Amino acid sequence: MSISVGDKIPDTTLIKPTSDGPEKLQSSDFFKGRKVALFAVPGAYTPTCSAKHLPSFEENASSLKEKGVDEIACVSVNDPFVMGAWKDHTGAKEVTMLADGNGDFAEALGLTMDGSGFGLGQRSQRYSMLVDDGVVKQLNVEQPGDYSVSSAEHMLEQM
C-alpha cells in the first residue's frame, strides 16, 4: 500500500551529498517544521529525469518558494556520489539532492518499481509530493513511462 495525502512521511535514513562528503539524515528531521516540494526520479542521468524532471523544478524554484515552499528536493535510488555528480553536471542550484541508495525510503512510501528490464533493479516510481511539517499535502504519482503530473508546473497549478 502506498502513501496517501494526509499520511505522515515514514522515518528512514537518506543521504545528502555535500562538499564535505555524504551526510546522513533522518527523513523525519528533514521534513519537520517546513514545507518541502519533493520529487522522485527513477535514476539520475536517465533521459526524462535529466531533460525534463530536474529542470522543471530548477526553473520553477522561485515560483514554488513564492507559494511558501521552503526547500525543493529530489530523491532517487542512487548513491550520494552519483546524486552529487548529477547536481554538479546539470548545474542545479535550487534543488537539494537526496540519495536513497538502498531504496528504503521508496519502499517505506510504497512507491517502488521494478526496473530490472532496463538493468536498473528496484527503483523509485516517478512522483512529486508537497510535504508540510512531515505530512503529505499533495501526491502526484506517474503511470509507468509517463511524465506529466509530477512536474513542477503541475504542482504549481495545484497550489
Residues noted as catalytic: 49
Q: How far apart are CA 39 and CA 117, in angstroms?
A: 23
Cα torsion through 40, 59, 134, 77, rounded to 10? 20
Nine cell digits for residue 66: 513564492
Residue pair 86/110 in contact (Cβ under 8 Å)? The answer is no
All residues at 6 or more sequence positions from 90 whose CB lies less than 8 Å from its CB, including other chains:
50, 54, 55, 58
